[in-house]
Chains A and B, each alone.
Chain A
Amino acid sequence: MTDTESEHDGQEFVRLPTGPDGRIHEDQPTRAEVLDWWSERFGIGRDFLEEFSYWEKGRGKVWAFHADTDSPVRVEGLGMSVLRTRGDHWKPTTNAVQRFGTRAEKNVIHLTREQAAAFVAGHDQEIPWDGDWGYLIATHDIAGETEPLGVGLYLHGELRSQIPKGRRRDL
């Protein structure tokens, strides 16, 4: 195995390249593409997300780390798993949306308390929405603030809850 191949083995974190020339596999996202995606999809500013270093562990699993070290590094975790980039539609994680989503300015669907409860219980719901289809940030109001709940997939008039089983609650 060459050194480059060993970086594919899914056990190491590899820092995302700054540009396309640094890719270690052809569909590896670059740091700039990740920053652009959050900005274009959700309007979350680059100035905030630029403070993080971005890493891949296994193909298409991107982590954000609010510190830095030498790449590659063989550890169990490095910051937070924030994004899946395999496939045409990149998908943010529940935890990333809860951490970064208060800064989102578009593709945010605001839910009533009743809709929010169904959403965190994992239910799909018919909800009118005249924006883009695809992955949305679902929010609701709590203690006078608007707070992100997680990721919903909007298709054909329906918001499909993407809350992982372990995070679902009957509230």
Chain B
Amino acid sequence: MSNSVTPAIDGGASVSREQAAGAAPALRTRALSLWYGARRALDAVDLDVPARRITALIGPSGCGKSSLLRCLNRLTDEIEGTRVEGEVRLGEADVYAPDAFVHELRRRVGIVFQRPNPFPLSIHDNVAYGLRLLGIRSRRELDERVEAALKAAALWDEVASRLDDGALGLSLGQQQRLVIARAIAVEPEVLMLDEPASALDPAATLRFEELLHELAGRYTLLLVTHNMQQAARVSDFTAFMHAGRLIEFGDTDALFTNPRERQTEDFITGRYG
């Protein structure tokens, strides 16, 4: 299914895909469970996110896709009453180790939210924000890395002449790419995107998906989407979640053409969700 839509990524991907499956995953969860108070949002999720690939998370609303993302960089810490059990490993690092530096961890696992949320600062200062947190003060270094991040996010050509303008003046599509530039400026290993295109119009969505392809070779992307066509178009691997459980995970083509589980089939054929 996705072969016909995205020849660019699938052209020579079959070999490297097998390599990716064999290589160490960028992120690995084992028996990961999450509670909001007494409500269980995630139920023993085992997931290996392949490095430098696009992995899509699909499933009906409220199935725990977004909760899973927030567990992976411990944004759940900021919510009162959450409890996490199980293990998350980022490379070799134990994410929930008592002595883990949460802020350093979050630098390594960036996240982009559904609605673009630039700071009410200039375009330049938005992208430089994370770099300044890291203690980078040199104007030259900041400028270089801001430019590199904006180029990687396919936004440089549109904003190069007005870096000091306010970021809130950009269009929604530009803001979403700015937020991506901001996230990749600090060079994360994993970039998680939580329904990043749902606020965009079709043309901006198309640009956005092209951008995802460009980023895929350099970063491990974990994409939450409620748009199954999008998941099929852009992702290499797909995980289907339902009611807090990971039902099925596999190669996107295989999952969409030949799902192993009945629930997956019902979902992708539109019988519910």
Is B one of A's binding partners? no
Interface residues of A (CB under 8 A from B): none
